[in-house]
Structure 1
Amino acid sequence: MNAAVRGAILIAIAAALWATTSIAAKTLFTHSDLAPLTLAFLRLCIACPFFGFLMWRSRKPGDLRPGRGLLAGLVGLGLLQAVYQGAYLWAVDLTGAGIATLITLCFAPVLVAIAAAPLLGERPTLRTVLALISAIVGTLMLVSGDITDPDAARLGGVMIAVLAATAYAAFTLTSRRVSGNGPVFGKAFVCFTTGAVVLAPVVWVSGGADGLTALDGLDWMLIAYIGIVPTCLGYVCFFRGMETTPATTSSIIVTLEPLFAAMLAWMILGESLGMLGMIGALVLTVSVLVASRNGSPARDE
C-alpha cells in the first residue's frame, strides 16, 4: 500500500471516528442531565494531556518556544474551538445527531469558500457561488421539518448549529493565517488547552459541574469514549493521514463525516430525515464537494 492510499484511509478512519461523537453525545444527553458545554469542556480536558504527551515525545529543539505571533494565533484558534465544541454539542442535544452534524460540518466549508474572498483575497469562482446557493437551499430543505415544528427548542437547535458552523468556518480561516511551521501536536495541545480554559468558567458559572456527581458508570464511559476515541485517536489518524495526502483530497474525504453521522443516527438512534430532508442532505453534501474541490481546507487542528 503506497503512502497516498494509506493517508487517504487514515483520514477516512478519522472521519468515521469523528462521526461517532454526535451519536455518543446524544446517547449521553438522553441518559443523563449532563450539559452540552460541560461535555465539551470534559472532552477538551481529556485531549489536553494526551496531546501534551505527544508534543513532549516528538519535541525538537525550539519546538516548545513558539513565536509570539504563532502563540497568539493558536490561542485564537483555541477560543474558536471552545465556541465550536460547545455550540455543536448543544445543537446535538436540541435537534439530533444527524441533522446537527450535517448543518455544522457541511455548511462551514461553503462559508469558508465565500469568506476567503474578502478576508484572504481569494476571488470566488462561479462554481463557488453556485455551491453557496445550493448549500443554502439544501440546508433549508434539511431543516424544513424543524422550522415548521412548534417546538422552539428544535428551531433553536438549528440556529445553534448554524452558530457552530460559523465558528468552525472562522476557525478554518484563522488557521490559514497561523504559520504552518512548528510541531503539529504542539499546536493541537495549545489549541485544546486554550479551549478548555475558556470553557471552564462558563461551565462553573452556569452550574454545569453540579450534575457530575449524579453520573453513573455508563455516563463516564461515554464521556471517556468521546474524549479518547474520536478526539485523541481521530485527530492522530487525521494528522498522520495529512502527511501524505493533499489538502484538497483530504477536504473531500472528511465530508464523509456528516454522512457517517446521519447513517449512524438512523441506525442507532432511529433518527429520520424524511424524503425532503434526505434530498436536502444530498444537495448540501454535493455543495461541499464542489466547494472542497475549489480549495476549501480540511480540519486543521
Structure 2
Amino acid sequence: MDGGRARGVLMALGTAFAWGGTGSFAKLIAAGGVSQLTVVCYRGLFAAAAVGAFMLARRGAAFFRCGRAELAQYAALGVFTVLFNATGYMMSCVYLSVPQVLMLNYTFPIVTMAGSALINGERPSALQVLSGFVVLAGLYIGFAAGGVGLRSISLAGVAWSMLSVAGLSGNALLSRKISAKADPLKQLFYSHLIGAVMLAAIRTFTEGWPDLSNMTPRIFLYMQYPAVFAALAGYGLLFSALRYISAPLASMICTMETVFAAALTPLIIGEVPPLHELAGCAVIAGAVVLSIFSERARGDA
C-alpha cells in the first residue's frame, strides 16, 4: 500500500472514531428536550464558520470563489451530508437504541459498493464485497442475536435511518467523483453551510423552533460533540480520505464506528456493552482488516 492510500485509510479511521460517540450524545440531547433538527442546524453552521474563518485567514477571499457548476455540486453534497445523513442519523437516535441505529446505518457500504461501480466506475474487489456481508453478519451477532427483535424497531426510526444511509452513500460517491478537482475544505465549508441554511429555512417555515426554550448550558455543551467531532473533524477527514481511497473502501472503514461506539458508550452514558455486542464488534473489525488487505493487494498487483 503506497503512502497516499495509507493516509486515506488513517483518515477514514479518524472519521469512524470521531463519529463513534455521536449516537450517545444524541440521546443525552434528546433527553433534555432539544430537537435533533436544532442540533443538525447548529453543527452545520459551526463547521462552516470554523472552516470559513480558518481559510479566510490563510487564503483570503479567493478560497470562497467557485463557479455555478461547482456550487451546484456543493449544494448536492449539502443535501446528502446535512439534510439526509446528519438529520436522518440524529433523528433515528430519537426512536431507536444506539445499537439499532448502527445496525441499520451500516448497510450503507453495500449501497456504496453498488453505486460506486455504476457511477464512478470503481468496482469493488471480491474481498470487499465479502467484507460488506461480513459486516452485516457482525451486526446481526452484536445486536439481533442479543434479542433486538423486528417488532421492537420503530418504523419512524427505520425511515430516518434509511434516509441517513442514502445520504452517507450519496456523500461518499459524489465526494469521490469530484475529489480530483474539489478542495476537501471547500467541500466541507459549502456542504455544511448550504445544508444547514436549507434545513433552517425548512424548519422555520414548518414547525418553528419551540425547543429552544429547553436549551441549557449543559445541553449546549453536549451539542459541541456533534459539531466539532461529527461535522468538523469527521467529515473533514472523510472528504480528505476520498482523495486517496475508493468510496467502497472508505465506507467499509467507517463501519469501525460501531467498534468505537461500543468503547465510548460506557464512558458517555454509562452503558456497558454486553458480550454479544463486543463479539459483533470483533467481527466488524475483522471485516475492515479484510477490506484493507484487499486494497493493499490490489495496489501491489
Q: State the TM-score, normalizing by the size of structure 1.
A: 0.77
Correspondence 1:40 to 2:59: no
Label 1:150 to 1:77 Cα distance change in 2 as closer, same or farther (>3 A).
Answer: same
Structure 1 vs Structure 2: percent identity of aligned residues?
A: 22
Separation in 2 of the partners of 1:81 and 1:267? Answer: 27
Please state whether the residue corresponding to 2:258 is helix, strand or coil.
helix
1:94 CA drift (Å):
2.1
- Quick one: which of 214, 223, 245 aligns to 1:247? 245
Query: Counterpart in 2 of 1:299?
Result: none
Correspondence 1:175 to 2:175: yes
Separation in 2 of the partners of 1:8 and 1:119? Answer: 22
Separation in 2 of the partners of 1:49 and 1:269? Answer: 29
Provide the alpha-carbon RMSD of the alignment. 3.7
Query: Counterpart in 2 of 1:298?
Result: none
Query: Counterpart in 2 of 1:189?
Result: 189
Residues matched between the structures, number: 288
State the one-letter code of the partner of 1:263: A
Separation in 2 of the partners of 1:254 and 1:152? Answer: 24
Separation in 1 of the partners of 2:285 and 2:54? Answer: 34
Label 1:190 to 1:136 Cα distance change in 2 as closer, same or farther (>3 A).
Answer: same
1:77 CA drift (Å):
0.5
Label 1:66 to 1:13 Cα distance change in 2 as closer, same or farther (>3 A).
Answer: same
Separation in 1 of the partners of 2:244 and 2:94? Answer: 34
Structure 1 range deviating more: 111-120 or 85-94: 111-120
Label 1:33 to 1:292 Cα distance change in 2 as closer, same or farther (>3 A).
Answer: farther
Separation in 2 of the partners of 1:194 and 1:183? Answer: 16
Separation in 1 of the partners of 2:142 and 2:215? Answer: 34
1:288 CA drift (Å):
4.0
Separation in 1 of the partners of 2:66 and 2:293? Answer: 32
State the one-letter code of the partner of 1:47: A
Query: Where do 5+ consecutive residues of structure 1 fail to align?
Result: 296-301
Separation in 2 of the partners of 1:23 and 1:45? Answer: 21
Q: Conserved in 1, the CA contact under 8 Å of 2:9 and 2:245?
A: no
Please state whether the residue corresponding to 2:123 is helix, strand or coil.
coil
1:6 CA drift (Å):
9.4
Label 1:185 to 1:118 Cα distance change in 2 as closer, same or farther (>3 A).
Answer: closer
1:149 CA drift (Å):
5.8
1:85 CA drift (Å):
0.3
1:212 CA drift (Å):
0.4
Query: Where do 5+ consecutive residues of structure 2 fail to align?
Result: 296-301
Query: Counterpart in 2 of 1:115?
Result: 115
1:22-48 Cα distance to aligned partner (Å, 9 max, x none): 222211112x12222221112112222
Listed as ranges, the matches of 1:150-299 within 5 Å are 150-153=151-154, 156-207=156-207, 209-233=209-233, 238=237, 247=245, 251=250, 254-271=254-271, 274-294=274-294
Correspondence 1:57 to 2:46: no
1:123 CA drift (Å):
3.2
Query: Counterpart in 2 of 1:27?
Result: 28
Label 1:239 to 1:133 Cα distance change in 2 as closer, same or farther (>3 A).
Answer: closer
Separation in 1 of the partners of 2:124 and 2:184? Answer: 30
Please state whether the residue corresponding to 2:20 is helix, strand or coil.
helix
Correspondence 1:136 to 2:159: no
Q: Conserved in 1, the CA contact under 8 Å of 2:23 and 2:98?
A: yes
1:187 CA drift (Å):
2.2
Q: State the TM-score, normalizing by the size of structure 2.
A: 0.77
Listed as ranges, the matches of 1:63-82 within 5 Å are 63-82=63-82
Q: Conserved in 2, the CA contact under 8 Å of 1:63 and 1:182?
A: no
Q: Conserved in 1, the CA contact under 8 Å of 2:88 and 2:164?
A: yes
